[in-house]
Structure formats: structure tokens, C-alpha cells
Structure 1
């Protein structure tokens, strides 16, 4: 794979180029995901979170059965909630330890 900075997704019958840096949150909806970007766009993509996490760069982390977040775009973490712009997402118990350990490795 190397250091890919973007990928293409198929949505609304067209291929759209998405830069990983622009992705804030990916929400799972069964066989679909909803991708939220920094410029407030949302894309529906036919893929499961489980399949997606395997092809995403390291800064993406699963924090909930229904959510993957881009650690680059997290603004804050408090009371087990991640804030990304106007999105608040609770970190699920099963993912909490892994998530907090990862954050600790990124602290100054």
C-alpha cells in the first residue's frame, strides 16, 4: 500500500476522491458506511466498517461498533466522548483501553 494519502469511493454512481486527512468520522450503517468530512460533506459508501478499517491508514481507529474516527481530526476527548467539530461520539467500553493507550502515545 505505501503511504497513500487518498482513496476513491464509489457513491451516487460516480467515483469520488477522498483525502484521508479530510475524513473526520466514519459511521457504520450495516452494510453501508457514512463518511463525514471536514468540509461538512457526507458520503454513503457500500462497505462494512470491518472491511474498511483494514484498508485505512494507522491514524484511523475504531472506537465503537458503529464508529471509526480519524485521530488527526479529533479536537478533544472528555468524559469518554470524542469531539470532532459538531460531532460527539462516545467511546465504547470495549474500545476504551486501546483508544486511551493510543492517545497516551501521542501526548507531549
Structure 2
């Protein structure tokens, strides 16, 4: 299933189809993650952040110990902070250079 555009997650005893393009931010909550979407919905999913990043497409990047963002849904990046749908996320120093390199590849 290479080049798939969606995945299913199990939450609230349901399997929910999520398109990768609709995911904005994934926040780590211990062994769970909170997945935020462009439609302002939040889903709690039982999976550790470090395990989840390995199964996500390339447009997702870890920017903090507790956050993964979808690079295609970033509104702007300023002063070590990303803004995605009015949510500010601090970018850790250890991830900043990699993030800037990825964003530079997307520049006009």
C-alpha cells in the first residue's frame, strides 16, 4: 500500500479514516497521541509518538519531543514557533535545523 493518502485509527471503539492532508498536529500524551485535524476535530489514539512518526509520510516532521506537525498545514514559522490553525508550537533546538531545511525545500 505505497503512496496511500489515508490511514485508519481506532478511537472510541470505532475505526476512523483520516486523510494525511487533513492532519495538522499530533501531540504526544505518554502512550497516547492527540491528533488534530483541519476541521478542528481531535482524536485520541493509543500509540506512542516515536512509533507513530515511523509510519507517517514524509510531509510529517517531529519538531518537539511532544509534537509532530504536517508541514503542508503550517501557516507560518517565526521565533522558534510554528503556527498551525492558530495553535502555537515551540520548536525544540534539536529539531530546528532539520525543520528549516525541510521548509527551504518548499520555498518558491
Same fold (TM over 0.5): yes
In the TM superposition, what is the alpha-carbon distance from 1:106 to its structure 2 partner?
1.2
Question: 1:40-84 CA deviation, whole Å, 9 max, x = no partner?
Answer: 000000001100000000000000000000001001001111111
What's 1:53 paired with? 53
- Map residues 75-90 of structure 1 onto 2, 5 A cutoff: 75-90=75-90
In the TM superposition, what is the alpha-carbon distance from 1:102 to its structure 2 partner?
0.9
Runs (4 or more) in structure 1 with deviation over 4 Å come to none
What's 2:97 paired with? 97
What's 2:9 paired with? 9
- SS in structure 2 of the partner of residue 40 of structure 1: coil
What's 2:106 paired with? 106
- SS in structure 2 of the partner of residue 17 of structure 1: strand
Question: 1:20-50 CA deviation, whole Å, 9 max, x = no partner?
Answer: 0000000001100000000000000000110
- SS in structure 2 of the partner of residue 55 of structure 1: coil
RMSD: 0.6
What's 1:44 paired with? 44
Give the Cα separation in 1 of the matches to 2:4 and 2:63.
23
Give the TM-score of the pair, scaled to structure 1: 0.98
Give the TM-score of the pair, scaled to structure 2: 0.98
